[in-house]
C-alpha cells in the first residue's frame, strides 16, 4: 500500500469508524510486529527525532519533558498494540487541551509516525492496524486555540489617587546648595 492510500485509509477509518470483522484489535502478534519492547523504544526515539525535525511539530516539543513523553508513548503504544503494558499517563484530552493543536499538526504527527514505522520496516498491514487504533485520539488531541484570557475591566475610584492638576514650581528639592 502506498503512503497516499494509507493516509486515505486512515481518514476513511476516522470518519467511518473501524470496519466490522476487520482484524483491528490489540494482539500479541501485532505487538511483536513492532519488535516488542526494544522495538517500541527505538521506534519512539525515531518518532521524537522526526518530530523535532518537523517545523510544524518542533515548537510543541522543544521545551517539553521529552524523556517523559517518550516513556509514556512507549507504554501507550505497547498497551494499544496488545503488549504486556498498562498506560498510566495523563488522559489524552487533559494532556493536550492547553496546546491548541489543529488538524494540520495532528496530520504532521501521523506522517512522522509513518516515516518512523517505515524506517523500522514494520509491515504496512501492521502499520495500518496501529494507525486505525490511534485515529480516535484525534478528537481528544485536536482543540481549537484556547480563548484569550478575559481581563476584567480596570475600575479606579475617582478619588483613589490624588494627581495634582499642575506641577509645583517650588519645593522640588533642587535648590542651589549653600542657600
The residues that touch ligand HEM, with contacts defined as CB under 6 A, are 57, 60-61, 64, 68-69, 72-73, 76, 89-90, 95-96, 99, 101, 105-106, 109, 134, 137, 141
Residue nearest to ligand HEM according to CB distances in the complex: 89
Short-list 117, 107, 105, CA closest to 60: 105
**HSE-CB for 179 with a 13 A CA cutoff:** 5
Nearer to ligand HEM, 101 or 177 (CB): 101
Cα→Cα distances 119→20, 28, 114, 157, Å: 30, 21, 9, 66
Nearer to ligand HEM, 55 or 152 (CB): 55
Residue 74 per-residue DSSP state: H
Nearer to ligand HEM, 33 or 132 (CB): 132
Nearer to ligand HEM, 86 or 170 (CB): 86
Grid coordinates of 62: 522543544
- Closest CB 72 distance from ligand HEM, rounded Å: 4
Amino acid at each position: 500500500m502506498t503512503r497516499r492510500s494509507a493516509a486515505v485509509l486512515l481518514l476513511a477509518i476516522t470518519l467511518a469508524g473501524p470496519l466490522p470483522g476487520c482484524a483491528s484489535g490489540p494482539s500479541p502478534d501485532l505487538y511483536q510486529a513492532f519488535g516488542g519492547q526494544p522495538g517500541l523504544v527505538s521506534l519512539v526515539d525515531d518518532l521524537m527525532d522526526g518530530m523535532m525535525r518537523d517545523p510544524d511539530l518542533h515548537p510543541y516539543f522543544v521545551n517539553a519533558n521529552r524523556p517523559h513523553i517518550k516513556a509514556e508513548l512507549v507504554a501507550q503504544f505497547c498497551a494499544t498494540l496488545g503488549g504486556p503494558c498498562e498506560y498510566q499517563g495523563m488522559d489524552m484530552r487533559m494532556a493536550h487541551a492547553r496546546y491548541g493543536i489543529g488538524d494540520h499538526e495532528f496530520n504532521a504527527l501521523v506522517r512522522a509516525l509513518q516515516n518512523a514505522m517505515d524506517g523500522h520496516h514494520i509491515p504496512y498491514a501492521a502499520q495500518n492496524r496501529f494507525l486505525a487504533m490511534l485515529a480516535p485520539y484525534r478528537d481528544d488531541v485536536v482543540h481549537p486555540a484556547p480563548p484569550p484570557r478575559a481581563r476584567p475591566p480596570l475600575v479606579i475610584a475617582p478619588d483613589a489617587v490624588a494627581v495634582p492638576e499642575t506641577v509645583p514650581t517650588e519645593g522640588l528639592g533642587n535648590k542651589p546648595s549653600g542657600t
